[in-house]
């Protein structure tokens, strides 16, 4: 009954918001029993500031104040919701006789205790438009600026949320435990809207992807398959077709007065200015306030009403869609004081939640600045649990492509991981071989199956949270082009007319089948391995083209050998006695054969050997 009431109340409000003469309220609803008792509702309607609002009495809920801005089309209602408040449809009335209802809902049981993604997980990154088209009827939506154009590399290809729902059995069998979708929110832009990062409505799923209800259905059905949902949120910028560009809630809502100035107000991308003790204020502002491009205006998170809006938006999606995590796009580009408050608000509401921030740098001194628990020289305190490990990604590609020497090859991976002393919690770093913004790992590794299998074996067995880009399991490739539209290639089997199908295996090459099986073996091992989930990492200095390490827990030890050599190696285990101990035998993960640990092991050429000691 609670679910039905939830749907009815939300549908009523969403229907009201479609009426151009009605009041738009953001967020669309809220919940009782939240950790924070404060709620700010942004109302939008022509000349709404002239209205004097009152809340019909409801026990435990108080309208404490109303904030007006320099734009008469907005009003912000500030409410206090006490812990004893009950679910209801709040009634707001103005002295002129206007009224609207606001749903105040009951939370799902134990919502605040939800578990976030962690080092036992594998996150599968999907660009929804390019994964699977489960509903052809929404490929083009009348009234939206961009129609479907599957032949255009930068066009919309028609993938959607229904396609991902249909693929859940495949993803479960593959061994995926979390889904990260690039933003499925409305991107009503005239071109390149498929990627999702130019948001035009922060509370609405793009109709070409589905609907809010369908996104919530995806989350619920994914959970039934043992898969959590990680939402990709954008705090730094939005799409230039958003109504804020023509009707800003405040004059200072957008950085540089909402003017890109033909590139004069573009970001410098000089992320090091945040930590640089010698950086000028001019350079700091040019980085954090500058726009990416003219179509992505930069938000001013120093504006307190906007800051509250963004905090509440994140919490709303966590509650509404039952999320297990958030990935934050272009993390460090937002105002850093706001980021501290944003992460603290979410982690206070959900202490066991997880958030990963994108800080695209191979310098761990810069990346580690943002992780919770880091003691920074400037006194900055972050509550961000996880950051993306771009250092290891870059080192891994170089290591597999370079010849071995004292300063090239595997030593770069070794050195990258040795820098873990900079992080408060290296086990909570997100490790990956590629993502939606870079060439695919199979491409970077020169279309070499063996090297690609080694790369993925390493990332799926080292410390940290593993993230894999969709299609890696079937060697998707963009060798002929670095265009993002080609990096974000259509998943085989997700669209009509394709000759191969990764879901069924039909039409795949022998190499693709080999890779898919290797990934399936690794991911399903991760799901049940205590050593991979929370074991200590001990690694050994590379030698003779071989990098080796152990993951050690009380219940299990896993030995990993990555052999770059073109010939097999009979490899002495004498140096590994500290991790092998008294154990005499292990099981090879890929062959299921018993392997003696008495003296040497045989390492196949250009291969990953994973040995399990129970």
d(CA 583, CA 82): 59
Looking at 168-280, list the stretches that DSSP marks H as alpha helix, in order from N- to C-terminal side. Answer: 168-174, 212-224
- Closest to 432 measured CA to CA, from 476, 396, 481: 396
- DSSP letter, residue 116: P
- DSSP letter, residue 257: G
Name residues whose C-beta falls within 8 Å of residue 388's C-beta, 6 or more positions apart in sequence: 356, 357, 358, 359, 360, 367, 429, 430, 432
H or E segment to which residue 536 belongs: strand 536-543
Q: Is 329 designated active site?
A: yes
- Cα dihedral 513, 515, 516, 520 in deg (nearest 10): 140
- Cα dihedral 70, 73, 78, 79 in deg (nearest 10): 180
Catalytic residue among 329, 389, 450, 490: 329
What SS3 state is found at 402? coil
Catalytic residue among 358, 420, 444, 473: 358
- Closest to 458 measured CA to CA, from 530, 519, 386: 519
Half-sphere exposure of residue 552: CA atoms within 13 angstroms, side-chain side = 13
Q: Is 358 designated active site?
A: yes
Distances (CA, A) of 384 to 88, 231, 362, 413, 596: 34, 15, 18, 25, 44
Question: What is the set of active-site residues?
Answer: 329, 358
């Amino acid at each position: 009954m609670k679910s039905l009431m939830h749907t009815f109340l939300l549908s009523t409000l969403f229907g009201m918001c479609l009426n151009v003469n009605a009041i738009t309220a953001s967020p669309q609803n809220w919940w009782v029993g939240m950790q924070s008792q404060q709620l700010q509702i942004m109302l939008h309607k022509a000349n709404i500031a002239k209205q004097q609002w009152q809340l019909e009495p409801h026990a435990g809920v108080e309208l404490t104040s109303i904030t007006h801005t320099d734009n008469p089309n907005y009003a912000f209602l500030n409410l206090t919701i006490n812990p004893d408040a009950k679910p209801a449809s709040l009634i707001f009335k103005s002295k002129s006789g206007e009224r609207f209802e606001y749903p105040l809902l009951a939370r799902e049981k134990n919502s605040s205790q939800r578990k976030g993604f962690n080092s036992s997980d594998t996150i599968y990154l999907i660009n929804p438009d390019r994964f699977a088209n489960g509903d052809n009827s929404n490929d083009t939506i009348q009234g939206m600026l961009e129609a479907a154009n599957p032949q255009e590399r930068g066009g919309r290809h028609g993938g959607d949320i229904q396609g991902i729902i249909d693929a859940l059995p495949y993803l479960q069998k593959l061994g995926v435990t979390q889904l990260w979708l690039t933003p499925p929110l409305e991107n009503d832009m005239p071109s390149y809207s498929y990627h999702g990062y130019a948001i035009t409505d922060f509370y609405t799923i793009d109709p070409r992807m589905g609907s809010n209800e369908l996104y919530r259905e995806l989350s619920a059905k994914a959970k039934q398959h043992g898969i959590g949902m990680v939402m990709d949120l954008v705090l730094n910028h939005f799409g230039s077709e958003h109504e804020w560009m023509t009707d800003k809630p405040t004059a200072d809502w957008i950085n540089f007065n909402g003017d890109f100035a033909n590139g004069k107000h573009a970001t410098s991308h000089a992320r090091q200015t945040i930590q640089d003790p010698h950086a000028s204020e001019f350079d700091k502002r040019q980085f954090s306030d500058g726009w990416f491009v003219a179509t992505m205006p930069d938000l001013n998170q120093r504006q307190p009403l906007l800051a509250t809006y963004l905090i509440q938006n994140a919490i709303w999606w966590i509650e509404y869609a039952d999320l297990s995590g958030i990935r934050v796009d272009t993390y460090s580009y937002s105002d850093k004081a706001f980021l501290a408050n944003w992460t603290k608000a979410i982690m206070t509401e959900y202490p066991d939640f997880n958030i990963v921030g994108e800080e695209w740098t191979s310098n761990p001194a810069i990346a580690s600045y943002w992780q919770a628990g880091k003691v920074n020289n400037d006194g900055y305190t972050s509550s961000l649990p996880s950051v993306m490990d771009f250092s290891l990604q870059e080192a891994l590609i170089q290591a597999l492509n370079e010849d071995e020497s004292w300063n090239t090859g595997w030593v770069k991976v070794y050195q990258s991981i040795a820098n873990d002393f900079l992080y408060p919690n290296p086990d909570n770093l997100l490790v990956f071989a590629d993502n939606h913004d870079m060439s695919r790992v199979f491409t970077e590794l020169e279309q070499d199956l063996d090297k690609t299998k080694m790369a993925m074996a390493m990332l799926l067995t080292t410390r940290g949270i593993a993230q894999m880009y969709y299609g890696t399991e079937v060697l998707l490739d963009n060798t002929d082009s670095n265009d993002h539209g080609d990096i974000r290639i259509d998943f085989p089997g997700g669209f009509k007319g394709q000759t191969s199908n990764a879901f069924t295996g039909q039409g795949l090459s022998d190499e693709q089948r080999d890779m898919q099986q290797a990934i399936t073996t690794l991911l399903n091992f991760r799901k049940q391995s205590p050593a991979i989930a929370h074991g200590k990492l001990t690694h050994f200095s590379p030698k003779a083209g071989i990098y080796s390490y152990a993951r050690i827990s009380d219940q299990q030890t896993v030995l990993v050998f990555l052999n770059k050599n073109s010939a097999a190696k009979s490899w002495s285990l004498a140096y590994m006695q500290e991790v092998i101990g008294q154990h005499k035998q292990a099981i090879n993960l890929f062959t299921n054969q018993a392997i003696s640990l008495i003296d040497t092991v045989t390492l196949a050429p250009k291969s990953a050997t994973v040995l399990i000691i129970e």
